[in-house]
A and B are shown apart, each in its own frame.
Chain A
Amino acid sequence: MAKQPSVGAEISEQELVRRKDFLEFRDDDLANLASINEVARRYADSVIEDFYKHLLSFEESGAFFRDPQVLERVKRAQQEYFLRLTQGNYNLAYAENRLKIGAIHERIGLPVKAYLGMYNYYLRAVATRLAEAYQEAPEQARSGFLSLMKLTFLDIGLAIDTYINSRERTIREQQEAIQELPTPVLPFREGMLLVPIIGLIDSQRARFLTEQLLGAVRANRAKVVVMDITGVQAIDSKVGNHLVQTVEAARLMGAVVVLAGVSPEIAQTMVTVGIELGRMTTVGDLQSGIERAEELLGYTVTRTRTRSQVTQ
């Protein structure tokens, strides 16, 4: 049951049935497609030629097929595809193959609009050929064409799924990468550490942060840690408790934590959770945090230049 996950988007038997139902793709469509199969085979080559001439005549789409080897390969693959459309047996394997093809196009960066434009050209080209071939039996041309349209829309749906799936995967990976960015623990002055926290903190990140921080206290022999949460919008009670635990653990190692950038919302959360803010050293902004830390460590900062002297 385990399939190669290389495509990402997958489809189940039931889903395939559901989609065919929705497109009203039924047994008579199978018959129609079978009946135009011969004609389709005959015009395959010329449709391909016209098709690619059309593609290459446009700057944007032509760019993807500059390389003659690539073009040959793609033409052959496309021919196989077109022929396949009328060969019947539109089962799960068929659908999975479509997903794979969609993934390949998405990977080379072909935009959805080009993909759709290609299908559009193909359908129009086929409509013309069918009308020519079935001049004596226009009804057959029409029903063959409509069945073909249902099938190609099934294919388009699958192809677009792979595009969406790929986008979603990228977004997910980026989100994970952001979550995993280690919070820097920066030695600032001797005996001081600066920990700027940005973005969402969840329990896991908070725990990891505590580990990092405590390790840094030992490595840098820090006595004061300025933890800046200016960039944190809100925290829940679990994270609030983690913060308190961090402060307590640091104290066990002889260090004081100055919590800077506590917004009114976060202060409210902490009070609600029952965290005694009185026992923690909190300040409103980063500058105050650093100044407080410097004070504790016995540093005095003196300014000896005016603004204008800075860039002289």
Chain B
Amino acid sequence: MTDPGEVVVPIRADVDVVVARQKIRGLVSDLRFSGNELTLIATAISEVARNIVSYAGNGEIVMRVIQRGQRRGITVVARDRGPGIADIERAMKDGFSTSRGLGLGLPGSKRLMDEFELVSEVGKGTEITMTKWER
């Protein structure tokens, strides 16, 4: 049973990427996020969901409203059972404002959110947890 504050979006094809980022807007409608912040969150979701499609084939995005003390926020978990990332350090590295070529968009996604955690094992899969807090 999923709890009402949580939304699960299965990611199997590129169309699901759009579904995921549209769902987030509904979920956070009564949180204090500015238009800018909403776009940042939707962009980060788009990036990680896209990775699932491109590299793992399928997985899921789970979005949940969370609370820590007085602050509320949104946590997004992107998980898959894909090939995993061999060199995590390399995947997370990039220059600050260099133009980006192909890549996983992970450092960028990390910049868009407040908290970012990545767990990955070759052959097992990848799980990314990102959180953004109300200001």
Q: State in angstroms the CA–CA spacing of A211 and B97 once bound together.
A: 18
Per the CB 8 Å criterion, the residue count for chain A at the interface is: 6
Q: State in angstroms the CA–CA spacing of A244 and B97 once bound together.
A: 8
**Interface contact B36-A241, CB-CB below 8 Å:** no
B2 within 8 A of partner (CB): no
Chain B 27-41 interface 0/1 with A at a Cβ cutoff of 8 Å (1 = within) = 000000010100000
Which residues of the partner chain B approach A241 to less than 8 Å between Cβ atoms? 96-97
A97 within 8 A of partner (CB): no
**Interface contact A248-B97, CB-CB below 8 Å:** yes
Q: State in angstroms the CA–CA spacing of A241 and B97 once bound together.
A: 8
Which residues of the partner chain B approach A248 to less than 8 Å between Cβ atoms? 97
**Interface contact B96-A211, CB-CB below 8 Å:** no
Interface of B is mostly: loop
Chain A 234-257 interface 0/1 with B at a Cβ cutoff of 8 Å (1 = within) = 000000010011001000000000
Q: How far is the CB of A268 from chain B (nearest CB, A)?
A: 18
Which residues of the partner chain A approach B97 to less than 8 Å between Cβ atoms? 241, 244-245, 248
Q: State in angstroms the CA–CA spacing of A223 and B129 once bound together.
A: 39
Q: Which of A205-263 contact B (CB under 8 A)?
A: 211, 241, 244-245, 248
Which residues of the partner chain A approach B36 to less than 8 Å between Cβ atoms? 211
Which residues of the partner chain B approach A244 to less than 8 Å between Cβ atoms? 97
Chain B 11-36 interface 0/1 with A at a Cβ cutoff of 8 Å (1 = within) = 00000000000000000000000101
Q: How far is the CB of B3 from chain A (nearest CB, A)?
A: 30
Which residues of the partner chain A approach B34 to less than 8 Å between Cβ atoms? 211
Q: How far is the CB of A279 from chain B (nearest CB, A)?
A: 10
Q: State in angstroms the CA–CA spacing of A211 and B33 once bound together.
A: 14
Q: State in angstroms the CA–CA spacing of A211 and B37 once bound together.
A: 10
Q: State in angstroms the CA–CA spacing of A244 and B36 once bound together.
A: 18
Which residues of the partner chain B approach A245 to less than 8 Å between Cβ atoms? 97
Q: State in angstroms the CA–CA spacing of A248 and B34 once bound together.
A: 21
Which residues of the partner chain A approach B96 to less than 8 Å between Cβ atoms? 241, 274
Chain B 78-104 interface 0/1 with A at a Cβ cutoff of 8 Å (1 = within) = 000000000000000000110000000
A-B contact pairs, 8 of them (CB 8 A): A211-B34, A211-B36, A241-B96, A241-B97, A244-B97, A245-B97, A248-B97, A274-B96
Extra contacts besides A211-B36, A245-B97, A248-B97 (5): CB < 8 Å:
A211-B34, A241-B96, A241-B97, A244-B97, A274-B96
